[in-house]
Structure 1
Amino acid sequence: MSVAIARISGLTLSPAAWAVSTEVGQMLPSADCDMGTGWIIFATFLSAALAMAGVLISWRSHVSAVSRSARFISKVSVLFGITFAFALILQGAAALLLNPCAH
């Protein structure tokens, strides 16, 4: 992976994981209710793990960055990724607490 891509992975991977989790979260509750499974919880926390992976990749590129602008982009990417990972964790907590069969 190139350093430039690693630097912005928190800016790209985290929102993509959140978007996929949101779309899957719209489709899976009815299937979870019908089959009695917990796929929505698994999908949400998997997306949170992917978002944190983007954060860690950006953090590692921050440590090795030489220029100030590269460090700034890496720091913004880390903060952006942490924000989306936190939102995903909150979505997962809501999925744990709420019954998918309740409309």
Structure 2
Amino acid sequence: MSTELGSAIPSGTPILRAQNAVGTPLGLRELTVLLVKHYGYHEGKYDLLVEYQIGAGPIGPTPENRVPGIMVGFAKLGLSTSTQDGPLTVDAAVENPKPKSKAKQSTRK
């Protein structure tokens, strides 16, 4: 992959990917569906909730080259109920429908 400025990178192409990633990385909507299933939700609409942690301080490659900077990291991932449908909104009834109950078998002899 070229590192020159101005090189054309097709939309959706990952810039960096861990060399030892197991399986295909999940997109944001796929992660939301996975969480809906994990929590066992069968009704409602949900969006991905991301809680960030922000730190500020001197940042640089060496102590002599530090400059003021900010670092942002993911602290938590979860779900929030959706008040308005968006492109990443997941409908639990569609993605994780309730299992159909089995009719009781008759015990006639």
Q: Indicate whether the TM-score tops 0.5.
A: no
More strand by share: 2
Structure 2 length as normaliser, TM-score? 0.26
More helix by share: 1
With a CA cutoff of 8 Å and minimum separation of 6, indicate the structure with the bigger relative contact order: 1
Structure 1 length as normaliser, TM-score? 0.27
